[in-house]
Chains A and B, each alone.
Chain A
Amino acid sequence: MARNGDRDAFSELVGRHQRRVWMVCRQYVGADEADAVAQDSLVKAYTSLGSFDSRSAFTTWLTRIAINTCLDALRRARREGLRVIAAGADGAVADVVDDDIDPEKRSIQRQAVDRLRECEAKLPERQREIFRLRFYAEMDLDEIAAALSVHVGTVKTQLHRAVHRLRRELGDVR
């Protein structure tokens, strides 16, 4: 129905997919821009619904639009000489460490999460991208492969390397 221009049906689609789209955008463009770019992605999806051929999953198609919109936004920002904030390294971080542990462990956990962010930012670009799509956008391996147009074997290899490297670097702060 949304493909026939039914705005109510599209509104329902937005409600179903906006969290995923925002989380994907958050990984690429950072907290400040994520909402705007997520909105751009969903508007773009609406105008391109005619080109969705149902051979791929709608979520994958939409995620691909979101990723492309993020990359366009990053390119535009670079071209215009704007400062591109490294996604994941910006802004204040909400304190959401486990409540059911004592203050000392809480502090250690806080440090460990901060260290995770730092180590994540140092991962090679592809590894970081795949790691974030897998764990934060909660995409499965096939979805990531389809969204990035790479073989699923590549996704597995890069993800394994990313996790292994993070475990090695976080070894002393866990």
Chain B
Amino acid sequence: MKSHLTSEEISAAVAGLEIDAPARDHLEGCVVCRAEAADLERLIAIRRRELRTEAPDWDVQTRQIMDRLPAAAGKDARRHRRWLRPVLALAAVLVLAVGLGILRSGGSAGPPAPEPSVEDILAEMDELLSDDSIPGFEIIDPWIDDHTMDFGYIEPTPSESVG
């Protein structure tokens, strides 16, 4: 026969955890160990009853919850979803059909513009290349520009040095 349970074993029994068979058998037959386990169990039971006295009126709570249920989240939402899917599918098919139609017609609704000839394109390119000025940096005084390019600095113009 096992002697009295250890404090750990009694705690395990109170917690409702498994204890080994000899300990369980002892607990069933020992008044002292049972009383020790029952001490905390009794306090917990009282505390649980205390907490229950704080509970709200359940019918009132149910009514308040039902009043708060959003209409869209339940049946109505599901009905909404039921017709939403086919409508979205139809819209997708329409968009696809319109898109394909545009592609087949060459990407625009009007008649196609006449293509420029190769000569025209080359002429336009030549014109662009011949203009090497940078916008905003146009030459103000051709003399300063030339002098700077030749000597790397600006000398006073002949008229300025006389003074």
Contacts and interface: CB of A to CB of B under 8 A. Distances in A.
A46 B71 CA distance: 11
Contact of A97 (B10, B46, B61): B46
Interface in B19-33: none
Helix, strand, loop or mixed for chain B's interface?
helix
B14 A98 contact: no
A39 B66 contact: no
Q: Which DSSP category, helix, strand, loop or mixed, fits chain A's interface?
A: helix
Interface string A33-59: 011001100110011000000000000
A160 B50 contact: no
Interface in A135-174: 135-136, 138, 141, 156, 159-160, 162-164, 166-168, 170, 174
Interface residues of B, number: 40
Interface of B: 7-8, 10-12, 14-17, 39-40, 42-44, 46-56, 58, 61-62, 64-66, 68-70, 73-78
Contact of B47 (A18, A134, A136): A136
A62 interface: no
Contacts of A6: 74-75
Interface of A: 4-7, 10-11, 14-15, 18-19, 22-23, 26, 31, 34-35, 38-39, 42-43, 46-47, 91, 93-94, 96-98, 109, 112-113, 116-117, 134-136, 138, 141, 156, 159-160, 162-164, 166-168, 170, 174
Contacts of A31: 54
Contact of A7 (B12, B47, B51, B69): B69
